[in-house]
Amino acid sequence: MAGASLIFRYQWLAFWRRALRTGRVKFYLTILTLLGWMMAVMLPDVLSKAASELAAAQTASMDRLLLVLCLLWLVLPGEDLHISLSSDRLRRFPLGVRSLLALRLSSVFLSPIAWLATIVSLIGLSPLLSAPHPLLGLLSAFLLFALSIGVGMSVSQRLDLARRRRRLLDAGVALGAVALAFALPLMDYDASPLIASLGAANPATLVTAAAVATTPYAMVVPVATLLVSGGVVWHLFLRSFQRSLRGGDTERTGRRATSIARLPGRLGPLVHKEQRSVVKVLDLWMGLLLVLAAAALSLSVSLTSTFRQTIFVIVCAANATVTLNCLGLDRPAALTRYLILPIRGSDLFLAKNAAVTVVVALQLVLLLAVGAWQSGFMQFGLEVVIAIVLVAAHLAWGNVVSVLEPRRTEPHRFASAGDPLTVLISVLIGSAPGVSVIVLLRSDSPVAPLAIAAIVFATMAAYYGSLRYAGRRFERRIEIISRRLA
């Protein structure tokens, strides 16, 4: 452990040195200020209401608060910290498995966002002091947080090790479970016995059930369930961590290198390669999480078309960190290989955009199917137009920003957000055409169809122009881009 603490000290210094050099400190200050202000405004009322309900043996508000905190700890292990603590780097140190595991876990708390999450989580547990069994409730809450962190670390480690198809399956199952858990507090439990049964399976209720229990059996069962579940999750994470240290992915790498792209066309192999790369960015999976939550909500209520279209806008905005940095996953050697290929810069960006479009289409197809089922195929066609306009607008602006402000992105982590002001302006620009179409659809103006057609045409023209511009700029600035991505 002494060696691990020494390495962590150097990782701490390297993290802040890199944050200062790349300007990421400004990003952290912006995020901490925004989240801190939101917590200062919203948290007191939530804590007061949850405390009063727990004193009366009611748990609805505390269940929602615990779910939000669990989702926070599920996401945090995937933050892109640029600390070079991948499995192939860790096994170079002359340390035991326990020391390396402690080093991997402690790296999560390098980020100031993890500090804020720790403070908010501790403050968020204060209502449990008003419960009939506060100590038991606090113990159960800590076990639930440990379970959430273990699941987040296990999913991240599993994505690093598993084969590509199994990665997608595991990530989809995990995100589906999280989406269902997030949607449960929003559902109408009186609408369906199925929804009521799912609500009873909410893991956050185990904490509140132990805190307000009236019998010894009701106290022991929730705590034992959390303890056993946490033990299983951490045992599986430890096994996958040990497997990663043994370098068990040699065979998988060789198999992947000889795979044949199944996509047609001249750019098919390149699109296939970009698609395998882009699915490793966690931002796209968070968009899928939102769609799954909305689809789960549709089990209890009929979603309006405005609600579904708003989800489209939010999902495309959540994917902005990917569309604004489509070169982030490439390294200087890969950029050099692009010059060898018989393609132009515009072809490269077209391939990258096609890969992102396929992933975004898979995100939205479930909600489009729900719209066709609940509102008919006419509304389905209109929502397809909205989705196309949103995706094309975000890609058009993203191509320009990607070639002017490239940032390095690590696989299986959240993409580098960059300057928050630039991201905010880019999200507004990319969302404006789609929002305009939604507003025109709600209006009774006789010129609305012509205006929508003009917006679609202008968006497609802007996208074509962005391909030409980004392609030429990429060919001229490839040395500058390579230095920024090194």
Closest CA relative to residue 160, chosen from 43, 38, 78, 257: 78
Burial letters for 248-271: b for 16+ Cβ neighbours within 10 Å, e otherwise?
Answer: ebeeeeeeeeeeeeebeeebebbb
Distance, CA of 215 to chain centre: 40
CA dihedral 7, 147, 43, 36 (to 10 degrees): 20
How many CB atoms are closer than 10 A to CB 64? 18
What was the pLDDT predicted at 167? Answer: 46
DSSP annotation of 89: H
What was the pLDDT predicted at 416? Answer: 62
Backbone angles phi, psi at 440, to 5 degrees: -65, -35
Contact 395, 353 (CB under 8 A): yes
Q: Which residues contact 92 (CB under 8 A, 6 or more apart)?
A: none
What was the pLDDT predicted at 458? Answer: 92
Contact 294, 390 (CB under 8 A): no
What was the pLDDT predicted at 195? Answer: 46
What was the pLDDT predicted at 461? Answer: 92
Tell me the pLDDT of the chain (486 aa) as tens digits: 556 677 777 777 877 777 777 777 777 788 788 878 888 888 888 889 988 988 888 888 888 888 888 888 877 776 655 554 555 566 666 667 777 777 777 777 777 888 888 888 889 888 988 888 889 889 988 988 888 888 877 776 666 554 444 445 444 544 554 444 444 444 444 444 444 444 444 677 888 888 888 888 778 888 888 888 888 888 878 877 777 666 544 444 444 443 333 555 667 777 777 777 777 777 777 778 888 888 777 766 777 888 888 888 888 888 888 888 888 777 777 777 777 777 788 888 888 888 888 888 888 888 888 877 777 777 778 888 898 999 999 999 888 888 888 777 777 666 665 677 778 888 899 889 999 999 988 887 888 888 888 999 999 999 999 988 988 888 888 888 777 777
139 vs 134: CA distance, rounded Å: 9
Q: Which residues contact 300 (CB under 8 A, 6 or more apart)?
A: 187, 188, 191, 192, 195
Contact 322, 435 (CB under 8 A): no
Q: And the tokens for 167?
A: 């990665």
What was the pLDDT predicted at 198? Answer: 44
Is 56 exposed, middle or buried (CB count within 10 Å of its CB: 0-12, 13-18, 19+)? exposed
187 vs 192: CA distance, rounded Å: 10
DSSP annotation of 264: -
What was the pLDDT predicted at 455? Answer: 92
H or E element in which residue 8 lies = helix 2-22
What was the pLDDT predicted at 194? Answer: 43
H or E element in which residue 68 lies = helix 60-75
